[in-house]
Amino acid sequence: MFGFLRSYFSNDLAIDLGTANTLIYMRGKGVVLDEPSVVAIRVEGGPNAKKTIQAVGKEAKTMIGRNPKEISVIRPLKDGVIADFTVTEQMLKQFIKRVHESRLFSPSPRIIICVPSGSTQVERRAIRESALGAGASQVYLIEEPMAAAIGAGMPVSDATGSMVVDIGGGTTEVGVISLGGMVYANSVRVGGDKFDESIISYISRNYGMQIGDNTAENIKKKIGSAFPGTEVKEMEVSGINRAEGIPRKFTISSNEVLEALSEPLNQVVKAVKDALEKTPPELGADIAERGMVLTGGGALLTDLDRLLCEETGLPVIVADDPLTCVARGSGIALEKMDKLGSIFANE
Amino acid sequence: MNASSQAKPFVSINSSEGASSSIPAPMVDIGGVMPLESLAPVPASETPGVQLQRAREARGMSVSDVADVLRFSPKQIELLESDRYDDLPGATFVRGFVRSYAKLLKLDVIPLLAALAPAVPPTPIEVIPPANMGEAAHSGLVDRSLAKRIPWGTIVAAVVIMLAIGLVLYVVQTAGLVNMLGAVSSAKVDTPPVLPAATESATPKSSAPSATPEAAAPATTSVDMPPTTPLVAEFDERSWIEVRDAAQKVIFVGEYPKGTRQMIDGQPPFQIWIGKASAVRLTYGERKVDLKPHTREDVARFSLE
């Protein structure tokens, strides 16, 4: 009844609330925000300590590991789901405010928000509630593999099997989609964060050095690879020598990073193989012909497609701009929201 | 390989061929056949399929070698090399296929995908920053408390809107009231109702109390009459009245309800006939008219100069 009023006051949004990055798609405009899911909170002293948001997004991410005692830098999502409800809500509120032009009234858009396919009812409700708390008038949930497949441009509504592997910051989602529905979906709690942790523990074990999260992420992005290549890259990094307690520099090669990543990569491979095992034969034949599509930030890990290709014997391709696939897919769902009903997930 | 104090920049990437001796051999060794630099730059006018085919042949690879690595069927590879994209399964797959193939052949992917764009359009991926990007990133601590804040903007707006609505209603109401009053009073004077004259004469009571001047007059006033020695009739109860002027012309007649106050204008002397004298108070100019001497059986009939 008041649809015209709502469209005047706020634009509908699709949000990829990821462990590592939050992307916002605005109806009719495209992806308008891509920021790390990080919040820096300052706690003022005294008995009635007041908490204020110091920074969100990119600015907050630079503070990780560099914060003084009174500022805590929080990543409110962990393994694809909400770990800190209040902070997630505030972060969403800030992001929504940022994409809406300044208006007298606070925005109350309709929101499509992504949830991992393996998330529990409690986790989904938490995500829904946080979006409502951030000012949404209505919240629709969409499972990440479905959004990723739509965003990658796969023919999800056709009677052919499409397989998508979305490797995010916290989870790896594997989905087989046909006729607009999920035939198989699974998510394992392995993603970019686990890759970073593995690099940190590898360096700690073999070099006796402590490095920070951001340094580990830099190593992964610059010289990380999933498959042994002919070219060996090296990178000089610095950390704290645990024995001496003094900052030192050292050099690490891409093959060492590959070794460090072998364990989480094996879990990804296993999840993909499980999905293939449980895929009905007809759809399996389609996948064998077309291959599976990699999306998410993990798809940017060098030679991950080669690894999956070798392990499964199937063609593996990387989607265009894999980082924004889920947000774009949710955005397409948003544009066609009034027509597509069945793609939305229940709690 | 332990930590050493080298004076190199903090983050640097070195691609060193020399280090390859200590590295496990790749499972499928294709990339090592030729260094990237030895490939002749392909002319941009060639289609992506031709470029791929040429690069493959330059590396001495057959279609089945490529099929072994990429796991696409040899037929699909041939289709791609002959630029028959319509027979391949969709834009996403063609672009991904070209990306994998170019990586295998160590070709630059970006110009290849650009050449592919007219036939196989990519999905738009641009990130449009909002107009007020970065507004929330300012490190001000003033008003970003984690506690629930009172929406002052909304409250102020609501109050302003309510005041505006109130003002509009007030203006409309007062204007409407004035117009309505004018219409009613003129209608009462202009349309004399035809009533039987003797109906009120049967009232039994004869003791008519004198008019009480302190009784509050109703707020109705006639606005379109000149105030020259006005005859004012006030009705405490329903009553019938007839007034004639000097020319014996009926200037005011009718039955009026309780609370009515009427100004009667005309040329004196007046001939006045009131059906229920105890219910009517008359004022002529500043003077109250005593009806008692003229009343019989509660009906007053007299002339007034």
Phi, psi for A201 (deg, rounded to 5)? -75, -30
Q: What local confidence, expressed as pLDDT, does residue A3 receive?
A: 53
pLDDT at site B246: 83
Residue pair A176/A182 in contact by the 8 Å Cβ criterion: yes
pLDDT for position B261: 83
| Rounded distance between C-alpha atoms, residue B116 and residue B99, angstroms | 11
Q: Which of A205, A297, A286, A288 is CA-nearest to residue A252?
A: A205
Query: Are B125 and A305 in contact (CB < 8 Å)?
Result: no
Residues A216 and A209: their CA atoms lie apart, in Å, by 12
Chain A, nearest residue to B158 by Cα: A105
Tens place of pLDDT per residue across chain A (347 aa): 455 555 556 688 999 999 999 999 998 888 999 999 999 999 887 777 788 899 999 999 999 888 898 899 999 999 888 999 999 999 999 998 888 876 666 677 889 999 999 889 999 999 999 999 988 888 999 999 999 999 998 988 889 999 999 999 999 999 999 988 889 999 999 999 999 999 999 999 999 999 999 999 999 999 999 999 878 899 999 999 999 999 999 999 999 999 999 999 999 999 999 999 999 999 999 999 989 999 999 999 999 999 999 999 999 999 989 999 999 999 988 888 766 555 677 77
Residue A39 tokens read as: 């919040």
The strand pair at A51-56 and A172-178 is best described as: unpaired
**Residue numbers in A near B135 (CB within 8 A):** 97-98, 102
Contact A208 B2 (CB under 8 A): yes
Within 8 A of B67 by CB-CB distance, chain A residues are: none
Structure confidence at residue B180 as a pLDDT band (50, 70, 90): low
Q: Nearest-CA distance from B79 to chain A in Å?
A: 14
Q: What is the pLDDT of residue B3?
A: 41
pLDDT digits (tens, 9 = 90+) for B105-116: 888 888 888 888
The answer to whether the Cβ–Cβ distance between B151 and A50 falls below 8 Å is no
| CB distance A199 to A261 below 8 Å | yes
B38 vs B85 pLDDT, higher one: B85
Q: How many CB atoms lie within 10 A of CB B21?
A: 7
Residue A193 Rama label (left phi>0; alpha psi -120 to 50; beta): alpha
- Please tell me the distance in Å from B193's CA to the nearest CA on chain A: 52
Identify the residue with better confidence: B260 or B140. B260
- Partner-chain contact A234 B23, CB within 8 Å: no
Parallel/antiparallel/unpaired status of strands B231-235 and A209-210: unpaired
- Structural tokens at position A104: 């007298």
Q: What is the pLDDT of residue B8?
A: 39
Q: Are strands A162-167 and A292-295 parallel, antiparallel or unpaired?
A: parallel
C-beta atoms of A228 and B26 within 8 A = yes
Give the helix ranges, DSSP H, for chain B: 48-58, 63-70, 74-81, 91-104, 109-116, 152-190
Say how far apart CA B281 and CA B283 lie, in whole Å.
7
Using a CB-CB distance cutoff of 8 angstroms, which residues of chain B are in contact with residue A34? 127
User: How far is B114 from A315, CA to CA, in rounded Å?
Assistant: 22
Among all residues of chain B, which has the CA nearest to that of A321?
Answer: B125
List chain B residues with CB under 8 Å of A313.
71
- Given a cut of 90, whether residue B153 has pLDDT beyond it is no
Q: What is the pLDDT of residue A216?
A: 95
Query: Exposed e or buried b for every residue in A31-57, given b needs 16+ CB within 10 A?
Result: bbbbbbbbbbbbeeeeeeeebbbbbbb
Q: Suggest the residue from B143, B146, B149 to mutate for an interface test with chain A (most A CBs closer than 10 A).
A: B146
Distance (Å) from the alpha carbon of B158 to chain A's nearest alpha carbon: 10
- Cβ neighbours, 10 Å, residue A113: 23
Which of the two residues, A235 and B229, has the higher pLDDT score?
A: A235
Q: Mind listing the pLDDT tens digit for each residue in B104-143?
A: 888 888 888 888 888 777 765 555 554 444 444 443 333 4
Contacts of A228 in chain B (CB under 8 A): 23-27
Closest alpha carbon within chain B to A39? B137
- In this prediction, residue B89 carries a pLDDT of 82
> Packing angle between helix B91-104 and helix B48-58, nearest 10 degrees?
30
Shortest distance, CA A279 to any CA of chain B (angstroms): 19
Query: How many contacts does A have with B, using Cβ atoms within 8 A?
Result: 210
Question: What is the C-alpha to C-alpha distance for residues A25 and B157, in angstroms, rounded to an integer?
Answer: 29
Task: Give the number of residues written for chain A.
Answer: 347
Dihedral angle computed from the Cα positions of residues A283, A285, A286 and A290, in that order, rounded to the nearest 10 degrees: 140
Q: Measuring CA to CA, which residue among B78, B61, B120, B74 is closest to residue B96?
A: B120
Distance of CA B243 to the CA centre of its chain: 59
Contact B132 A101 (CB under 8 A): yes
What's the whole-number mean pLDDT along residues B64-82? 90
Q: Is the pLDDT of residue B149 over 60?
A: no
A28/A41 Cα distance (integer angstroms): 33
Looking at the partner chain, which of A54, A59, A232 has a beta carbon nearest the beta carbon of B16?
Answer: A232
Q: Which residues of A touch B161 (CB under 8 A)?
A: none
Rg (CA), chain A: 21
CA distance A140 to chain B (A): 23
Non-local CB neighbours of B81 within 8 Å, separated by 6+ positions:
B49, B50, B52, B53, B56, B63
Buried b (16+ CB within 10 A) or exposed e, B98-135: bbbbbbbbbbeeeebbebbeeebeebebebeebeeeee
* Mean pLDDT of all residues in B267-283: 84
**By CB neighbour count within 10 A (0-12 exposed, 13-18 middle, 19+ buried), where does B83 fall?**
middle
Cα of B190 vs its chain's centroid, Å: 48
Residues of chain A in contact with residue B10, where contact means CB-CB under 8 angstroms, are 236-238, 249
B146/A34 touch (CB, cutoff 8 Å), yes or no = no
- Which residue(s) pair with B281 in the sheet? B234
Q: What is the pLDDT of residue A2?
A: 53
Q: Supply B96's token pair.
A: 């991904």
